Amino acid sequence: MTKLRFAVLGTGFWANYQIPAWMELEGIELVALYNRTRSKAEALAARYNVPNVYDDAQELINKEKIDFVDIITDVDSHASLTMMAAKKGITVICQKPMASKLPLAQEMVSVCERAGVPLFIHENWRWQAPIRKVKEILNSGVIGKVFKARVTFCSGFPVFENQPFLAELDEFILTDIGSHILDTCRFLFGEVETLFCHTATVNAKIKGEDVANVFMKMKNGISCYTEMSYASVLEYEPFPQTFLLIEGERGSIQLTKDYSIHVTTRKGTEVITATPKMYSWLDPKYAVVHSSIVDCNRDILRALQGKHQAETTGADNLQTVKLVHAAYASARTRSIIDVEKFE
């Protein structure tokens, strides 16, 4: 099988995990790296034996014979790099959030569609081992028809130490973790009909919001409440775990700490542990997140190889971007947003 050649654009914090995650898969070859600061790209190139390094993205696109790019840069450059690759007929994989504004995300999808270029968003949260297991249990029908769900990501983790640029964002938690959490809600419970959001800024040293609560009515009638915080002081620090409580007509599913899933019916409770796969390169504290990168990459790679339709296409993720910005609009206006009509 001919290997697919690809380049990574951006060699910051997440590239240190995205690149080794790609290395776990067969049928691909990383041939070039780009970063504005060339020395950062050179350091990663030396670590992973990547032959070519650039500090000009356009030069890389023009010179390298590649099948796809993986964009791991700051969100403000996602659109321009996506369009740059699309014009050359190169498939695009882009980190979340797709874009800083909904119209820009819509344009990215449209440009790729017109160019006949596939666009995938690297949305790995739904690929976490415990979340995939919860989906499997839901699909089994053991708790019957779901009527209510709570999705929780509340932490006091010092996220700004690893990624200081986040403190300067005018919009923070909904674009950062909210992109993941709202996409997870779509994955588990379907599309959203209406939503209401309240945000707050607790940390006086940041510009954006670090608390967001979103209440959604799903199109299938499920009431879904999501709570997100980077300002929480808790007895148990759960970062980076997502907790779930899903209630159905015949029982409930609760995802708690350490990947423990409690499935309760009138017959009693069964406890299942969905531990992520441990790779040598991942940070054990981030295991559930870093492990999911491999699974998300595998799903996209199978699509690139023509084996199936990937879950996290640009068109699909556009619905998540829409939820993020609908939530901001709700918080600003203190009103319920009809998602289908939101633009």
How many angstroms separate the CA atoms of 108 and 82, rounded?
A: 7
Compute the mean pLDDT over every residue in the chain, rounded to the nearest whole number.
97
CA distance 117 to 89: 6
Candidates 95, 132, 123; CA nearest to 276 is 132
Q: Which residues contact 2 (CB under 8 A, 6 or more apart)?
A: none
Report the CATH number of the 125-275+313-341 domain: 3.30.360.10
pTM of this structure? 0.96
Domain 4-122 is of which CATH architecture? 3-Layer(aba) Sandwich (3.40)
Report how far residue 212's alpha carbon sits from residue 201's, in angstroms, rounded to the nearest whole number: 9
Q: Please choose, from the candidates 157, 139, 138, 141, the residue with its C-alpha nearest in 3D space to the C-alpha of residue 149.
A: 138
Q: Cα separation of 218 and 323, whole Å?
A: 12
Residue 1 has pLDDT above 80, yes or no: no
Shortest CA distance to 259 belongs to which of 246, 247, 277, 233? Answer: 277
3-state SS, residue 9: strand
Could you report the per-residue pLDDT of 107-154, keeping only the tens digit for each? Answer: 999 999 999 999 999 999 999 999 999 999 999 999 999 999 999 999
Tens digits of per-residue pLDDT, 89-103? 999 999 999 999 999
Cα 226 to Cα 178: distance, rounded to the nearest angstrom: 9
The residue ranges of every structural domain in the chain are 4-122, 125-275+313-341
* Tens digit of each residue's pLDDT (9 = 90 or more) over 154-164: 999 999 988 88
Mean pLDDT, range 166-193, rounded to an integer: 96
Structure token digits, residue 255: 């995802």
**Which residue type, as a one-letter code, is found at position 93?**
I
- Say what the pLDDT of residue 89 is: 98
pLDDT value for 163:
83
Contacts of residue 329, defined as CB under 8 A and 6 or more positions apart, other chains included, come to 337, 342
Query: Would you say 108 and 98 are in contact if contact means Cβ atoms under 8 Å apart?
Result: yes
CB 299 within 8 A of CB 128: no
Residue 69, C-beta contacts closer than 8 angstroms, at least 6 positions apart: 6, 7, 8, 9, 61, 81, 85, 90, 91, 92, 93
CA nearest to 206, candidates 175, 168, 235: 168
pLDDT, tens digit, for every residue of 50-92?
Answer: 999 999 999 999 999 999 999 999 999 999 999 999 999 999 9
Specify the pLDDT at position 343. Answer: 86
The model's pLDDT over 29-46, given as tens digits with 9 standing for 90+, comes to 999 999 999 999 999 999
In this model, does residue 11 exceed pLDDT 70? yes
C-alpha torsion angle, residues 35, 36, 41, 43 (rounded to 10): -150
Q: Tell me the pLDDT tens digit for each residue of 292-301.
A: 999 999 999 9
The rounded distance, in Å, linking the Cα atoms of 290 and 212 is 24
The mean pLDDT value for 250-271 works out to 98
Q: How many CB atoms lie within 10 A of CB 266?
A: 6
